[in-house]
């Protein structure tokens, strides 16, 4: 694990920096923010090796990369800038899956402006790709860069994709191009957390989103949960949805809330909506089954669920995804096993899943350790007896309780948004 300098931490985590300025982030949590990533992905030069102009150009490349948010998956977000003699000549970003890569966009922009990229520097948020292969839509960027006359390439992160992972850098160096990596590496990890998680863990990035009262309840005892948080928090949730490939809830949440799980309070396209419903027992009247884009509603059920019901749902235009669910010792189904559920979602190109509840689902993901980030909206209400956010497992001691890393807090309306990351022990 790489420990970056304090300067790198500041530029890598602008939200944390704001918190620090507001006095809301402790030194310990700021440090863990730097430590949260589970592998050394900078692979590169010390921070001092980069000029102020280098930093400016790479920052620009990052803001360009974000323009592709919600549209590039399963590809990463990438931005690129071409500059020479302190002047930006062209810029680009990966706009959507299957489209031109950021490097090509940026180099094309230079040519379109009637300029030549010869002797320039190319700033890329991610290592340029260097392979052709099955399912790849674009030619290798390294060949394009080599042919363009670029003299130096700066990258934030090495691409962990097994077909790249340092090979892109080597291909450029073999052609005599200077390569410097590691500029804003932490920021790059944050930008492409879903892409990196998939490359490292072979499953989608899982973010658990909980709206709870101060005393940890997600609904009243009768199941009523509307609304624990105010509109400003719900807008933020819609933004999160727009950035996720899929949202996921349990059958109990659909029965209690009848949610649409669409993006209405923010800009962005609707993600896939996955519901875990082993026995296909949702009522026909559930809103999720009648939305205009209902093919995006994905009912995940046990492989031996009622075949007729499966067909009826498919005839309605809803997607049904059966997964093999082993019975528990009593012979009855024990809920869908989450690893195969996530594998089935991966096979459909899903790289990030926003888990929206309820208690049973939050508890299972936490218990099985199949999560990466926890985002808890804490509302200034006290419920007393109610439905807790998680239950069904118990840490023996406080020391053995699940401990989050890289925690941060942000105020949204009257809520506190508390976020933290899974601390993996396998690195
Ligand atoms: N405030 C919030 O953030 C929030 C968010 C969402 C929901 N809620 C509230 O939470 C309550 C619902 O929670 P809930 O626990 O009753 O329902 P839930 O967690 O939404 O759904 C649980 C159901 O999902 C199915 N399931 C399939 N695989 C599972 C697995 N591996 N682990 C767990 N469940 C699995 C099971 O039904 P089958 O066995 O039939 O498949 C299970 O009964 C409602 O009151 C709702 O309003 C609050």
32 in any annotated domain: no
The predicted structure's pLDDT at residue 138: 79
Query: Could you tell me the pLDDT band of residue 289, with boundaries at 50, 70 and 90?
Result: very high
* Proportion of the chain above pLDDT 70, given as a percent: 85
- Count the domains in the chain: 2
Both 125 and 157 in a single domain? Answer: yes
* pLDDT the model gives residue 413: 96
Q: What is the atom index within ligand 1 of the atom nearest the CA of 302?
A: 41
Q: What is the pLDDT of residues 213-244, one digit of tens each?
A: 999 999 999 999 999 999 999 999 999 999 99
Q: What is the mean pLDDT of residues 341-346?
A: 96
CA of 73 to the centre of ligand 1 (A): 27
Does 80 map to a domain?
A: yes
Return the higher-pLDDT residue of 139 and 1: 139
CA atoms within 13 A on the CB side of 361: 26
Residue 61 lies in a domain: yes
The pLDDT assigned to 276 comes to: 98
Domain check: are 208 and 149 in the same one? no
Same structural domain, 124 and 247: no
**340 in contact with ligand 1, CB cutoff 6 A:** no
What φ, ψ does residue 415 adopt, rounded to 5°? Answer: -100, 155
Cβ–ligand 1 distance for 251 under 6 Å, the answer yes
Structural domain includes residue 316: yes
With bands split at pLDDT 50, 70 and 90, how would you rate the model's confidence at 36?
Answer: very low
Domain boundaries, position 383 = 203-393
The closest residue, in CA terms, to atom 45 on ligand 1 is 223
Model confidence over 79-135: pLDDT tens digits? 999 999 999 999 999 999 989 999 999 999 999 999 999 999 999 999 999 987 766
**Contact between residue 342 and residue 206 where contact means Cβ atoms under 8 Å apart:** yes
- Cα of 339 vs centre of ligand 1, distance in Å, is 17
Mean pLDDT across 323-327: 77
Q: What CATH number is attached to the domain comprising 234?
A: 3.40.430.10
Query: Do residues 179 and 268 both lie within one domain?
Result: no
Q: Is the CB of 386 under 6 A from ligand 1?
A: no
Residues 339 and 236 in one domain: yes
Alpha-helical segments (H) within 95-202: 102-112, 141-148, 167-174, 185-191, 193-201
So what's the pLDDT on residue 331? 52
Tell me how far the alpha carbon of residue 162 lies from the centroid of ligand 1, in angstroms: 36
| 243: in domain | yes
* pLDDT band at 148; cut points 50, 70, 90: very high
CA distances from 201 to 70, 126, 342, 345 (A): 21, 19, 11, 14
Q: Inform me whether the pLDDT recorded for 20 exceeds 60.
A: no
Give residue 133's pLDDT: 72
Q: Are residues 214 and 327 in the same domain?
A: yes
Q: Report the pLDDT averaged over residues 395-405.
A: 96
Q: Which of 19, 91, 103, 190 is catalytic?
A: 103
Tell whether 209 and 326 lie within a shared domain.
yes
Is 37 exposed, middle or buried (CB count within 10 Å of its CB: 0-12, 13-18, 19+)? buried
Residue 13 lies in a domain: no
Ligand 1 atom nearest to CA at 212? 1
Smallest CA separation from ligand 1 atom 43, residue: 252
pLDDT band at 325 (very low <50, low <70, confident <90, very high): confident
Residue 139, in any domain of the structure: yes
The last residue of one of the domains, among 170, 191, 212, is 191
Distance, CA 361 to ligand 1 centroid (Å)?
5
Confidence band for 321, pLDDT divided at 50, 70 and 90: very high
Calculate the average pLDDT of the chain.
87
Residue where one domain finishes, among candidates 191, 219, 237:
191
The answer to whether residues 228 and 372 belong to one domain is yes
Kindly state if the Cβ of 44 falls inside 6 Å of ligand 1.
Answer: no
Any atom of ligand 1 within 6 Å of the Cβ of 228: yes
Distance CA 340, CA 336 (A): 8
Which residues lie across from 123 on neighbouring strands?
Answer: 81, 154
More confident site: 76 or 10 = 76
- Annotated active-site residue 103? The verdict is yes
- The answer to whether residue 338 sits within a structural domain is yes
Model pLDDT, residue 34: 28
Residue 279 Cα: closest atom of ligand 1: 40
Residue 349 and residue 267 in one domain: yes
Other C-beta atoms closer than 10 Å to the C-beta of 127 total: 30
Average pLDDT over residues 282-306: 95
Does ligand 1 come within 6 angstroms of the Cβ of 237? no
Q: Is the CB of 257 under 6 A from ligand 1?
A: yes
Residues 62 and 186 in one domain: yes
State the distance from the centre of ligand 1 to the C-alpha of 316, rounded, in angstroms. 24
Which residue, 132, 161, 191, sits at the end of a domain?
Answer: 191
Q: Are residues 207 and 263 in the same domain?
A: yes
Q: Is the CB of 256 under 6 A from ligand 1?
A: yes
List the CATH number of the domain containing 44.
3.40.140.10
In this structure, are 351 and 222 located in the same domain? yes
Q: Are residues 206 and 372 in contact, defined by beta-carbon separation less than 8 angstroms?
A: yes
Mean pLDDT calculated for residue range 135-159: 91
Beta bridge partners of 297: 273
């Amino acid at each position: 694990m790489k420990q970056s300098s304090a300067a790198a931490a500041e530029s890598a985590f602008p939200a944390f920096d704001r918190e620090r300025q507001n006095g809301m982030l402790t030194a310990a949590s700021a440090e863990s923010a730097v430590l949260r990533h589970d592998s050394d992905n900078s692979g590169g030069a010390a921070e001092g090796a980069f000029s102020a102009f280098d930093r400016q150009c790479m920052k620009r490349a990052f803001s360009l990369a974000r323009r592709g948010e919600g549209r590039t998956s399963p590809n990463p977000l990438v931005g690129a800038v071409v500059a020479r003699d302190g002047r930006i000549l062209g810029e680009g970003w990966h706009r959507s899956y299957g489209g031109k890569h950021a490097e090509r966009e940026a180099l094309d922009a230079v040519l379109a402006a009637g300029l030549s990229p010869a002797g320039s520097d190319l700033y890329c948020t991610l290592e340029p790709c260097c392979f052709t292969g099955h399912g790849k839509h674009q030619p290798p960027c390294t060949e394009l860069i080599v042919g363009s006359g670029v003299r130096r390439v700066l990258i934030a992160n090495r691409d962990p994709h097994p077909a790249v992972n340092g090979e892109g850098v080597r291909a450029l160096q073999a052609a005599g191009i200077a390569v410097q990596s590691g500029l804003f590496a932490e920021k790059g990890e944050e930008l492409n957390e879903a892409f990196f998680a998939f490359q490292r863990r072979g499953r989608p990035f899982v973010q658990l989103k909980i709206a709870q009262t101060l005393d940890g309840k997600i609904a009243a005892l009768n199941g009523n949960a509307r609304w624990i948080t105010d509109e400003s928090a719900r807008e933020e949730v819609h933004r999160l949805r727009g950035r996720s490939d899929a949202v996921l809830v349990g059958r109990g949440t659909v029965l209690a809330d009848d949610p649409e799980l669409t993006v209405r309070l923010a800009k962005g396209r609707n993600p896939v909506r996955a519901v875990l419903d082993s026995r296909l027992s949702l009522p026909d009247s559930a809103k999720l089954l009648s939305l205009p884009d209902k093919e995006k509603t994905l009912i995940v059920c046990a492989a031996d669920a009622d075949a007729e019901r499966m067909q009826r749902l498919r005839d309605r235009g809803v997607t049904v995804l059966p997964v093999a669910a082993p019975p528990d010792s009593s012979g009855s189904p024990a809920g869908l096993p989450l690893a195969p559920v996530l594998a089935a979602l991966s096979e459909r190109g899903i790289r990030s899943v926003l888990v929206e509840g309820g208690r049973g689902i939050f508890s299972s993901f936490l218990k099985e350790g199949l999560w990466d980030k926890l985002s808890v909206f804490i509302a200034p209400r006290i419920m007393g007896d109610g439905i807790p956010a998680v239950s069904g497992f118990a840490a023996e001691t406080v020391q053995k309780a699940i401990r989050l890393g890289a925690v941060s807090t942000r105020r949204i309306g009257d809520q506190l948004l508390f976020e933290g990351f899974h601390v993996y022990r396998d690195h």
